[in-house]
Amino acid sequence: MKRYCFALDLHNDQNLIDEYVSYHKSVWPEILESIKASGVIDAEIYLVQDRLFMIVEAEDAFTLEKKGEMDSKNETVQKWETLMWSYQKALPNSKPGEKWKLMECIFKL
C-alpha cells in the first residue's frame, strides 16, 4: 500500500470554510466512486484554521498520473474540482493551477 500526504489552503473566510466542510460531509456519490476506481483505498482530510491536510492510502498500482488522467476525462469530477477551487487557494510558490501539494515525509516512528 502507498501513502500520500497533501496540503492546501482555503480562502480565509469562515463562511466559505463552513460551506467547504459541509460539502465534504456529503461528497457527491460520483466523486466517491471515481476516487475508489482510481485505486484509492482510504482518504482523510483534516482542517486547522484555513489549512487542509489530506492523507491518501492507495493500492500499490496507484499513480498520481493515472488518477490525474482519469479525473481529466470525468465531467463530474471536473465540475466538483471547479466548485471546490472556489473555496481553495494555492499554497505559496505553487505553479499556476496547482492545488493539492504533495508533502515530503521527514519523520516516521
Please name which of 43, 91, 35, 93 lies closest in space to residue 68, comparing C-alpha atoms: 35
Question: Which residue out of 5, 7, 11, 81 is catalytically annotated?
Answer: 11
Helix or strand holding residue 101 (H, E) = strand 101-102
CA angle 82, 87, 89 (to 5 degrees): 95
Which grid coordinates are listed for 96? 499556476
Query: Can you tell me the distance from the alpha carbon of 82 to that of 91, in angstroms, rounded to the nearest whole number?
Result: 17
Residue 11 falls in the annotated catalytic set: yes
Cite the active site residues: 11
